[in-house]
Each structure stands twice: as structure tokens, then as C-alpha cells.
Structure 1
């Protein structure tokens, strides 16, 4: 079946201007949409995870410190944050396909440029550009889901989407580790360029437009109009609270992602291939968490599923911090605790995203998705960089677990404050 079967009705196929038809979509169309949007969303995960096993070799090859190499990861996070803030409103105004095609093309070219970077500073700049481009797939994929689904259908679809996207952090480091057996770290960026070309082909030949011309007309304002929308979202507690929860939870996870390559190598003596296997096993925890979340839809409401994930993540990183401070950390115990943490992340991500986006109209889904992604990557990338700011620019299991514990506690605190404010508003109305 062609991807154009995702178009909701024949007239949309001819004009690309009709809104998706309401109601349940054909299963085959949903599967295709999950596959295509999953590939697009996974691009940013691949861009961050594929080269993680190569951190020590990049540092040696470019004569860089650990903290400088970690900053190449922070650079793409900042690019993803800035890019989503710009591309989201563009997709509301001009439709989803155009900005997506440009973003995927630039991602492909910047990946090739990273493969020939002469220094860690040049690599950081190129990674920023790569993040700007990868933002198109991340933000527009979420907006397409909002264009097409509502309520629990959206949460169910996000769980399916995260299942596919979750394969990227699980398989990405494994593939990166294997690529290091046949070539240098530069080969990893060539592989990212190939992935970009595959995405470009799928979008160009198959992905339909999901935002009608009429809906785009509702967002015809420029400049100050877009700024007003972003300000309104920032002031809407229904949006900003789950967005902050998502961002702080991502900071916890991203701290692990950015630091554990060095921690496992320096403190536990793992090889790039062993690190890849451990990272893949822990990422499986997130995939399982997402599937449990999907199974709980209809049995437990979204807020309760989110709370379960937040409490579980705080408890797991609390154990990790205790192991680090008492000297009882071993590779097996740390891996087990991180697996539980990633499982809980699988409960947090789809529910926080659903709560933030579902309460907004489709006409601002792109801007809402952009702001959500911007907060996620800016806060996540910024806080994770703290782990490498110790003496000598070295990350340690103590610094890693400390940042993870602080961000997990902050995420739960935001949830508690939101629940209290919501309860106070309901009491005032009564």
C-alpha cells in the first residue's frame, strides 16, 4: 500500500487541503503512519545515540577532553531546541511537508560535514546545525499526530510511536559499536547521512499533508502573532506543567546518555561494544514501559500513569545515588537500576506529551510541539552538561547520579504543584 493511503479522503489526495476525517483510522494506515513518523522521530535519537560508544575515540583522535566531547552532544541538543521553536510555527503556517523536506535534506548534508570535521570545535558547530535540521522530524511528527488523533487515541498512538522510536537508543549504540570495528568514528556520521536520505525519500514520495489550507489560514499571522501564541502557551498551566515535567525527566535520562559512556569506561572498564550492549538492554526497559503504558490506557487515567512513572524514576535514581555515595556500585547493580529508571521513563514520555499537546487546538499544534521540544532539549541538554564540570572535566558516577536525582525530584515536584493548583481551582469554583 502506498503511503499516500494515509490521506483521509480522495479530495485531500487531489488538493492536500482537506482535514483528516474524524473517527478511527484504518489499521493499515495507522501502521504506515507509525512507521514513517517513527523513522523521522528516531533520526534525532540516532543522531545523539549512534556515536556514544565513540566518545573515548573522538577525544583521542581530536585531542579533546571529555567535557569538550560531551559538549558536541549538548550542541545538538541546543540545535534541536532552537530548531523546534522556529520550525513548529512554520509548519502551522505553511503546512507540514515543506519544512520537513528542507529539514531532512539539511540533516543529510550536515551529517556528511560532521564526518570530515577537523576539530572538536568544528564538530560542535556542525552538530548544532545537525540539531537544527533534525528538529523538523521531531516537532512535525508530533504535530502530525495532533492533526490526526485526539484524546486516548493520541496517547495510544504516541505509545506505538515511542515503541519504534525506542529502538533507536536501543539499537543505535549497538550499531555504532559495530561500526567502530570496521572504521573510525567518522563512519558513524556517514551512516547518519544514509539514514537522512532514506527519510527524505519516504517524506518526498509518500507522506501526505495533514494540515488543511483552512487551518493554515487560521494561523496566517506572522512575527508578533506567533510570539503571542508562544506566550499564551507558556502561561497555560495545562501546557507548561507537563512540558516542564517532560523536560526535567528528559534531563534525567539525557544525563545518563551523555555521561555513562565515560563512566562505564573509566570506572568499570567496559569496551565500546560492552557499553553498547548495556545501553541497548537499558533502552529495552523504556520500550517495555511504553507497552505497559499502552496496556493501561482505559484502565488508569493519564495523570495517574504519569505519576507512577515519576515516582518510579525518583526511587530508582535514589538507589543509584546511594550506591554511588557508599561505594557499592558495580556494573551489574548500576545496569539493573538504570533499567528500572528507563522503564519508568517509558511511562512518563507519552503521558506528559499527551497532557501538554491534547489540550491545545490543532491550529497551534506545531507551536505547542515546538515549545515542548525546545524546553525538553534546552533544559535536558543544559542540565546534563553539569556532569562534566568537575575537576579535569571528568564525569563520574557520583556527578551523574547527583544530577539525575535532582532532576527526577524536580519533575515530581512540578507534578505535585500542578495537582495542588488544579485542586485549588476546583474548590474555588465549588
Structure 2
């Protein structure tokens, strides 16, 4: 990035990739305040409504396994067109869903489409950038990505209050159409035929996944990242009920609380490149996950001791979120650093495992969740602890291998 033109191109890529990868989260965050209203519309309970979220996340996770290898074989842009097209059509279906079952089915299709933007964006970053530049790009991408959880709940709650929850999906459909326009006019192919032919033969898709599954460093970092993110997914699924029903926040107040936490997360993420340059990527990952785990443990012990305070909960959770923000971009860069020739496949498996772990916990713990904070807090603390264990085992082993070499 030695010239102004390079800088402009760098930020242009960050904005476009950020918007494309944020389409899926936007489709989640904007309708979160509507979960209780959707339950009232279809006369169903919390667990039934949560299936619309779980279906989206599962579809998004599994679909990445297909988009990644395809993008390694045909380039990055074709899968983006297909994914965004599916997402647009499914979103229109959500607008007209006549039952919860129909809504869940269209949300599942939405997840299939949304997966393309997430997995291909990471692969494009790996195509174009390395080291600190890659970390900076990932942090900028997350900054754009962060507009969704900051603004989407606020927009969603306002739209719901004015015209009902279905209008939320009308706005999401407009965003999907904008995404297709950006892909066509604003994004160049980062993995052209010439680049694909210049790398060693990739072999079968299954073979590429086996290479990744056998790489203990890749898998350890990916699982650490996945459990760190699972903390957020548990919060995502249960916070509307805890904050709106237990703490009696309005839908607008919930949007503000959710957006404030997201702002802390994404502001923290912007410190990544500078901190990694000063202290090293491994030390930042270790420090972030240690602070997050200790903070969640403090919250858990507080609630077990009888504390029940919205300010205590939100204050500590913002600290934990800020710490995780130092872990997610850095683990993504570290996991993919040795697999540039199959960056799409590596990004796909990373994204699938990140998304699969969270919804799995949400589904398994669903019967034990209600509007009380403690079950959610204990689940989030457990996820943070497992992430810490994977980080320490993987990075300690890597240090030992480096010393032995």
C-alpha cells in the first residue's frame, strides 16, 4: 500500500467484502428483536421460534463446505453470484411465509445463500494479502461487518414497531439486491484462471479437506476460534428473551444494548493489526482468550452467588466481547497461513466449524434455556473455557515444534 491508489483499492475491497459477508449476520441481527413477535404471530413458544435461527445457522455452516472448493476451482465471483441470488429469492419467501414451518424453510434457504459471502470473502483476503496487511484487512472487514449488529437491531426494532416483522425481510431483500450490484460492478476476480493453473494440482475436494483435518495446528486454531464464537451464538439465541422478558427492556432498548456490545467488539477488533505488530499474533490470541474466559467465569460466579443485575451482566459481557474481538480475526489469519493454494476450502472448513459449534450448543441446551440469565451465562462460560484449552494446547505445541526445528 505504497501509493494513494493502493490505499483506495485496499479500502474499497474492505468495504465490499465487509458488506457481502455482513449480509448473513444482517439477516440475523435485524430480526432478533422480532423473535417474541414472531412467536405471538404463529402462537408458538421460545424453542419453536429459535428453530428459525438455528435452521439459518446450520444451513450457512454446511453450505460453506461446497462454496469453498468451488471457488478454488472456478474463481471467487461465480459462487458469490449464486449465493446472493439464492439469498434474495429466499428472503422474498420469508416476507410471505404463512406459517412458522414456511418461515423456517425459507430461513434455511437464506442460510445456504448467505454462506457464499462469508467463505469467499476470507478466501479473497488470503488471495490478495499476507501478514500484517491481511490482519489489517480482516480487521477493516470486521469494522464494516460490525455495522450489522450495531445498526440492524435498532433498524429492526423500529421497523417492527412501525409496520411489523415482515417488513424486516423486505429491507433485507433490498440489501441482497445491492450485494449483487456490488459483486458485478465493484469486485475484481482475485483468483483468475491463470492463478489457478499456476498452483500445484489441488486433487479432489475430499483430499483437500483431509489435508486440513490432518493439520493439527489448523484444526486446533479453528476449534479454538469456533468455541470462542459459540459464546456469541449462545448470547445471540437467548439474549432477546433474557433482556426483553427478564430485564423488561423494550425492543428498542434491546437494540441499543445489543448495538453497544457490538460497537465495543468491533472497536476492539480495529486494534488487532497494531497489537499484533507490537506483541505478535500468538500473544494477542492467548491474551484475548484468557481475559474473555476469566471475565465470563467472574460473571458466572456472580450470578451463582445471587447477583442479578443488567449492568453487571452487560458490563462484563462487553469486556468479554472486546477480548474475543482480538481472537477471531487473528485465528482466521493463522489458520489459513499455510494453505494458500486451497484458501477457499480452508476458509470453508473454518467457517463451517465456527458456525456448527454455536448452533449445536444452542440446540442441545435449548430445553434448559429460559428467560433467566444464569443458564445462558453458564453455557457461554463453558464455551470460553473450551476455547482457552484449545488455544493453549495448539500454540504450546507450535512453539515446541519451532524450537525443535
TM-score band (shorter)?
over 0.9
What is the root-mean-square deviation in Å for CA atoms of aligned residues? 2.0
The worse-fitting range, judged by mean Cα deviation, of 302-311 and 413-422 is: 413-422
Provide Cα deviations, 1:145-192, integer angstroms capped at 9, x if missing partner: 111001121011101111111121111111111111211111111111
| Counterparts in 2 of 1:131 and 1:218: CA distance versus 1, 3 Å | farther
**Contact 2:229 2:354 survives alignment (8 Å):** yes
- After TM superposition, give the deviation of residue 364 of structure 1 in Å: 0.3
- After TM superposition, give the deviation of residue 383 of structure 1 in Å: 1.1
Provide Cα deviations, 1:222-281, integer angstroms capped at 9, x if missing partner: 9x7110101110111221111111110110111111110001122111111110000011
Provide Cα deviations, 1:113-163, integer angstroms capped at 9, x if missing partner: 011112222212211110110000001111111110011210111011111
2:231: which partner in 1? 252
2:360: which partner in 1? 382
1:12: which partner in 2? none
Match of 1:81 among 58, 61, 73: 61
Output aligned runs, 1:276-291, within 5 Å. 276-291=255-270
- After TM superposition, give the deviation of residue 218 of structure 1 in Å: 6.1
Match of 1:191 among 171, 177, 180: 171
| Counterparts in 2 of 1:149 and 1:94: CA distance versus 1, 3 Å | same
Between the aligned partners of 2:155 and 2:10, the Cα distance in structure 1 is 28
Between the aligned partners of 2:399 and 2:228, the Cα distance in structure 1 is 24
**Contact 1:87 1:370 survives alignment (8 Å):** yes
**Contact 1:282 1:342 survives alignment (8 Å):** yes
The worse-fitting range, judged by mean Cα deviation, of 240-249 and 24-33 is: 24-33
| Counterparts in 2 of 1:320 and 1:132: CA distance versus 1, 3 Å | same
| Counterparts in 2 of 1:221 and 1:173: CA distance versus 1, 3 Å | same
1:51: which partner in 2? 31
Listed as ranges, the gaps of 5+ residues in structure 1 are 1-20
Between the aligned partners of 1:221 and 1:153, the Cα distance in structure 2 is 27
TM-score by length of 2: 0.95
- After TM superposition, give the deviation of residue 421 of structure 1 in Å: 2.1
**Contact 2:245 2:371 survives alignment (8 Å):** no
1:8: which partner in 2? none
Q: How many positions carry a matched residue from both structures? A: 405
**Contact 2:64 2:349 survives alignment (8 Å):** yes
1:425: which partner in 2? 401
TM-score by length of 1: 0.90
**Contact 1:50 1:173 survives alignment (8 Å):** yes
| Counterparts in 2 of 1:394 and 1:371: CA distance versus 1, 3 Å | same
Between the aligned partners of 2:306 and 2:290, the Cα distance in structure 1 is 25
Listed as ranges, the gaps of 5+ residues in structure 2 are none
Output aligned runs, 1:307-326, within 5 Å. 307-326=286-305
Query: What SS is found at the alignment partner of 1:117?
Result: coil
